[in-house]
Amino acid sequence: MAIQSPTVDIAAPLVRPTVASASRGYWPSVGRRLRRDPVTLVCAGVLLLIVLSSIAAPLLGLADPYKTSMIRRLYPLGSPNHLLGTDELGRDMFARLIYGGRLSLFMGVTPVVCALLIGGILGITAGFVGGKINMAIMRVMDVFYAFPSVLLAISLSGALGAGTENTLLSLTLVFIPPICRVSESVTTQVRGFDFVDAARASGASALTIVRVHVLGNVLGPILVYATSLISVAIILAAGLSFLGLGVKPPEPEWGLMLNTLRQAIYVNPVLAALPGVMIFITSICFNLMSDGLRAAMDVKA
């Protein structure tokens, strides 16, 4: 966790100089640590590339991702005009992968952001207020927790019916409990620090205390955790599409593409694996980046 009381460490007996030195805030020091972490930097770069190319896809002069062609089906990689070949309906793979990123990333990020808002507010409330409210909120979350996230997502999507909105809704519901639980635990931890008691003793309102003293200390760990959930969300969204519970054809989406290219696995296995490779790269980058952020933010001040 980002906030810790001084622990026993060989540097602990170090007493800081009393001479004035340039004061560094917390975030600048996190930035400094990140700049010295090549893995995180590379991952962030790759993600930036994927995100930017998805957003700017219409401007890149790619082939039409929806245009099918019966004669150009399943071209292998490296074909002229089709750098990454074509899919089972003769659509350009490169264009579909880039365009697919738009939906896949959207489906990965949106539910996490929504869940972050709802779960974060619930968790911070539960952690800060404590007592019966905490009990009520956390026991409800435990009910959701009882189901494995994949099963929960599938059953919710199944009940709500296929479609982008329903997938987003079910994924949001899936991610609220874990985010809520993490928010609750870090808030409870911060709540126990004397500086929160000191703030309470000053007569400030609960909202002011949360805004000034709690948020700054809990947001970091919660965001790091949420980042690591994005990769899960991408995989789950792709999984739902693969099962026909998410995005409907002909929309390009990595999970759905993986499904439709399934038949081609014996004809052109490399081609069939391409959407999977994209999912893999994106989610591993999110995971490594979240690890890097965690390490950079874990400053024993």
Partner 1 sequence: MESLVPVEDRGGPAQPLLLASGLRKHFPVPGGLLGRSGKVVRAVDDLSLSVAKGETLGVVGESGCGKSTVARLLIRLIKPDRGTMVLDGDPVDEPHGITVNELRRQVQMVFQDSYASLNPRLTIGETLAFAPKAHGLPAAEARARVRDLLDKVGLDPTNYAERYPHELSGGQRQRVNIARALALRPRLVILDEAVSALDKSVEAQVLNMLVDLKTELGLTYIFISHDLNVVQYLSDRVLVMYLGKIVELGSVEAIYGDPQHPYTRALLSARPSMDPRRRTKEAPIQGDPPNPIDPPSGCRFRTRCPFAEDVCARAEPPLADTGAQAVACHMRIAGSGHSKAVAT
Partner 2 sequence: MSNLLQVRDLHVTFVTPDRTVNAVNGVSFDVRRGETLGILGESGSGKSVTLRSILRLHPEHRTRWSGSIKLEGDEILTMGRGALSDLRGQRVAMIFQEPATAFDPVFTIGHQIAETVRRHTGKGEADSWTRARELLEMVRIPSPAQRLKAYPHEMSGGMRQRAMIALALSCNPSLLLADEPTTALDATVQIQVLLLIRELQRELDVGVIFVTHDIGVAVEVSDRIGVMYAGKIVELAPVEQMVDAPRHPYSRGLLASTVHDGMRGRRLEAIPGAPPDLAEVPTGCSFALRCKFVQSNCVARPPDLREVGGSHLVRCVLVDAQEAGVAA
Q: 5 or 202, CB closer to partner 2?
A: 5
Are 63 and 86 contacting, i.e. CB atoms less than 8 angstroms apart? no
Q: Contact between 58 and partner 1 (CB under 8 A)?
A: no
Task: Using the CB atoms, write b or e for 159-171: b if 16+ within 10 Å.
Answer: eeebebebbbbbb
Q: Which does 244 bind (CB under 5 to 8 A by kind): partner 2, partner 1, none?
A: none
Does position 18 interact with partner 2 (CB under 8 A)? The reply is: yes
- Which amino acid is it at 187? T
Question: Is residue 23 part of the contact set for partner 2 (CB under 8 A)?
Answer: no
Which of 193, 273, 280, 287 binds partner 1 (CB under 8 A)? It is 193
**By the rule CB under 8 A, 132 interacts with partner 2:** no
User: What number of other Cβ atoms are within 10 A of residue 175's Cβ?
Assistant: 27
Residue carrying structure tokens 């190319």: 53
Question: Residue 11's binding partner, choosing from partner 1, partner 2, none, with beta-carbon cut-off 5 to 8 A by kind?
Answer: partner 2
State the minimum distance, in angstroms, from the CB of residue 24 to partner 1: 7
Helix residue ranges, H only, 84-148: 93-129, 131-145
Report d(CA 119, CA 180) in Å as an integer: 4
Is residue 159 within the footprint of partner 2 (CB under 8 A)?
Answer: no
* Contact yes or no for 273/267 (Cβ under 8 A): no
Residue 10 lies near partner 2 (rule: CB under 8 A): yes
Residues between 212 and 251 that touch partner 1 (CB under 8 A): 212-213, 216-217
Which range touches partner 2 (CB under 8 A), out of 16-24, 61-69, 162-170, 231-239? 16-24
Number of Cβ within 10 Å of residue 12's Cβ equals 10
Spell 211-228 as b/e; 16+ CB within 10 A means b.
Answer: eebbbebbebbbebbbbb
Q: Does 25 bind partner 2 (CB under 8 A)?
A: no
Least Å distance, CB 39 to partner 2, is 16
Chain contacts with partner 1 (rule: CB under 8 A): 3, 5-6, 15-16, 18, 20-21, 23-26, 193-195, 197-205, 208, 212-213, 216-217, 301
